[in-house]
Amino acid sequence: MSRIGKKPISIPDGVTATVDGQTVKAKGSKGELSFVVNDEVLVKLENGKSEFEIELKYYEGAPVIREIARVSKPGRRVYVSAKTIPHIANGLGISVLSTPKGVMADHNAREQNVGGEILCRVV
């Protein structure tokens, strides 16, 4: 893992963040976001509300997350409907979508029956 992968993620002033198990909730002036983090990622809240530390989990010496790939690019946006959201690695990976209801994982978009722009995929 590179050193950049071990740096903390700073949370801007005016945004409050809470962690409840694997659920991360952030609330700010533009709204509220809740996301369930995959079990392979460890999330800790440090210094009250100022930083998250995300550590990748390893299995037999190899990182569990093998690839994070950008799908939509400035020159080529990829949009899908709720019925055509692709299954990544036969359901073992996830797609991250930007939908009218906010940024969410592919399984959440299917549950809420919304489509949108595929931002990236995680395998």
CATH superfamily of the 1-64 domain:
Ribosomal protein L6 (3.90.930.12)
Structural domain boundaries of the chain?
1-64, 66-123
CA–CA gap between residue 99 and residue 49 (Å, rounded): 27
Residue pair 59/34 in contact by the 8 Å Cβ criterion: no
Fold (CATH) for 66-123: Dna Ligase; domain 1 (3.30.1490)
CA–CA gap between residue 80 and residue 69 (Å, rounded): 17
pLDDT in tens, the chain (123 residues): 445 556 666 777 787 877 777 787 888 887 888 877 766 566 666 666 445 555 677 888 888 888 888 999 999 999 999 999 999 988 888 999 999 998 899 999 999 999 999 999 988
Which pTM does this prediction carry? 0.56
Residue whose C-alpha is closest to residue 39's, from 70, 64, 5 = 64
CA–CA gap between residue 32 and residue 38 (Å, rounded): 20
